[in-house]
Amino acid sequence: MYLMNNLKWYLFPVLSLLIFNGCNQQKEKPMKAPVAKKTEKVFNEQGHERVDNYYWLNQRDNPEVIEYLKAENAYTEEMLKGTEKFQEKIYKEIISRIKQTDMSVPYTVNGYAYYTRYEEGKEYPVYCRKTLATDAPEEVMLDGNKMAEGHAFFQIGSWEVSPDNEMLVYSVDTVSRRKYTLHFKNLKTGEVYEESIPNTSGNVTWANDNKTIFYAIKDETLRPYKILRHCLGQNVKNNEVVYHETDPTYNTYVYKTKSEKYLVIGSESTLTSEYRVLDAAQPTGVFKLFQKRRHGIEYNISHQGNRWLVRTNYKAKNFRLMEAPENKTELDNWTEIIPNRDDVLFEYVSVFENYYVLAERKNGLIKFRVYDTKENSDHYITFDEDDYYAYTSNNPDYYSKSLRYGFTSLKTPESVYDYNMVTRASVLLKQQEVLGDYNSSDYITERRYAPARDGVEVPVSIIYRKGFKKDGSQPLMIYGYGSYGYSVESYFSSSRLSLLNRGFAIAIAHIRGGEELGRQWYEDGKLLKKKNTFFDFIDCARYLIENKYTSSNKLFGYGGSAGGLLIGAVINYEPQLFEGVIAAVPFVDVVTTMLDESIPLTTGEYDEWGNPNEKEYYEYMLSYSPYDNVEAKAYPNMLVTTGLHDSQVQYWEPAKWVAKLRDMKTDDSLLLLKTNMDFGHGGASGRFEAHKETALEYVFMLYLLGITQ
């Protein structure tokens, strides 16, 4: 209520009466929230009638829809009028911590050192390389700042250099729909060729002949569904389809093994995978099936020497490592190397000529297990902090004896190390520099375990500045996701300091639906167990209140995408638990979306949410879908964000949700919808521009608390 009491009401722009009911057009009247028109749309599914009054908002090209979104933006701007200087202060504060002239740690491949650098005041990366000779000159491969000129959104998706180091293929998206166009550049002459390939996923790889590429294109639902072959100089219209994934629940992609011996086509659904391989020196050959798909069996393949290493969940819930002979790849030929373990999730393997490294997650934390194939020995790389995130970084050199990895925590800036797998010594190459007076010792991190209502203990990662009082008087933001088996990591973010230094604690609830505590943790938060995700988040929030980290009138919930679904469901169950919530690009219209197979991602996600064409799943989804369960009751203050070009969660889901909430909620709490008219799911493309939305989100919470500086 703090914001409502401190803001003036402003004039509402005159808009079409077809869109807004009951708009008072007298200029001197105080501004009212936009009211979307109602046009009844009746759905009859599974013997149940469902009415959607705002279904019309899914017409992206309808001028009325655009006007409505603009009206909501204008309302958000007016309701936050007076906070512009505060938003600008927070924004400048955030970017002031970023070292603007910066460079990544170079990595070596095929006689060149590759790195990315940023220039003072510029938004986009510059991709560079040098030969390994002393004092070698820099070669600028791609300058994102020059390439982005004239575009509201710009993103370089991926790039690959040919084996002879002379040609570059790269992908670009200028719409924010994740539809990339491939371009070619001669690195010897600097010439960018006229030939280009549109509508790709951005996924591309070279064959070993230095002139053939393989890439994926998208269908009308934005699903990567075909792999094509292109030879430089060939008419793009004549490119040959080498693989067509006809099952709409699968995506397809292509890559080259680290050994550079094989090209691999992968095809994956949520629960099943399949691969095909081809000698990279024979790009016109036929891809050979590695192991035919079997529903529920996932596997990944890495080539090493005269064998394949196979990570799989076949008879192994938390995955095991197996090997297959190079030319006998069917399942019957797989032999176990490392078994499944109930308390360890085997996440991935990094392969070298004489080593392989397993990333193993135990109690939510990653450790690296290094295997020496010559000595037939293994050992662990361990870490000192109680709550952290570690990951393998750029390791393209198959013959290296060094593992590059990254380490970070809620208080430790991202750090890059090289680990010598022979001497077992780590060397710090670079730690992210945080400008200003940042000192990690000024902050405290904790990992607590909150009891869920069914007795399960849910990990919670927490950070706050020293001096934080656990008496319920200080604000806290709790973040959650809980879908797709995605583990939310405890990584450092310098932008969070703007909250921490103003008295906030920040908590991450590692709720079911993620994979922090193994595969079962994921399975217990999906399909017909999805509500565990929501109840875990609520119980974590209650735990923090009960233990005096905060109180309900100082507690804020945050989630994006599937995490926005989380926020939407949680406030239907427990709206009084929060002072405010932020739902970024939220997936809130679950039933309608999952019934519409023309929408990107729908069919591929039946294994995650269920297929609503089956009555059991339809009824369960309907019972928690945030949009379908809006009620006439009081809700917390809300900031909802979306992007007009979002390819993951269509803009109309949050737009409809806000419209329905405006119509039904009984309180005078703030309800704001911010639609970015130029961007998509990931927001702004520049490294600074994106923080304007961060500043908006932070000011929304701070101003509700009466904090204005």
Question: Which H or E run includes 63?
Answer: helix 63-79
Q: For 443-456, give one letter per residue: b (16+ CB within 10 A) or e.
A: bebebbebebeeeb
Question: How many residues does the structure list for the chain?
Answer: 709
The catalytic position among 646, 669, 685, 691 is 646
Strand partners, 279: 262
Is-contact 664 631, C-beta < 8 A? Answer: yes
Query: If you write DSSP's letter for every residue of 657-670 in order, what string do you get?
Result: HHHHHHHH--S---
- The number of beta carbons lying within 10 Å of the beta carbon of residue 108 is 15
d(CA 218, CA 196): 15
Query: H or E stretch including 181?
Result: strand 180-186
The residue among 22, 23, 19, 25 whose CA lies nearest residue 39 is 19
Name 408's Cβ contacts closer than 8 Å, sequence gap at least 6. 388, 389, 390, 414, 415, 490, 491, 492
Catalytic residue among 171, 415, 495, 561: 561
In whole angstroms, give the CA distance from residue 241 to residue 2. 60
| Pairwise CA distance, residues 495 & 125, whole Å | 19
Cα 4 to Cα 23, 448, 694, distances in angstroms: 21, 35, 21
As a whole number of angstroms, the distance between CA 36 and CA 694 comes to 27
Query: Cβ(488)–Cβ(514) under 8 Å?
Result: yes
Cα angle value 577/579/583 (rounded, 5°) = 90
Q: Please report which helix (H) or strand (E) contains residue 3, including its range.
A: helix 2-6
Residues ≥6 apart with Cβ < 8 Å to 434: 97, 413, 494, 497
What's the token pair of residue 631? 């009620």
Largest CA distance in the chain: 84
Cβ within 8 Å of residue 14, ≥6 positions away: 23, 25
135 in active site: no
**Which residues lie below 8 Å from residue 352, measured CB to CB, with a gap of 6+?**
258, 304, 395, 397, 398, 399, 400, 401, 403, 421
**CA–CA gap between residue 326 and residue 314 (Å, rounded):** 19
Distance CA 561, CA 486 (A): 12
561 is catalytic: yes
Active-site hit among 490, 681, 685, 691: 681
- In the block, which residue shows the tokens 């393989």? 214
Query: Catalytic: 646?
Result: yes
- The residue whose two tokens read 């193994």 is 518
Which residues are paired to 335 by β-bridges? Answer: 323
Residue 204 corresponds to which amino acid?
Answer: V
Helices vs strands, H then E, count in the chain: 13, 38
- Any idea which residues carry the catalytic annotation? 561, 646, 681
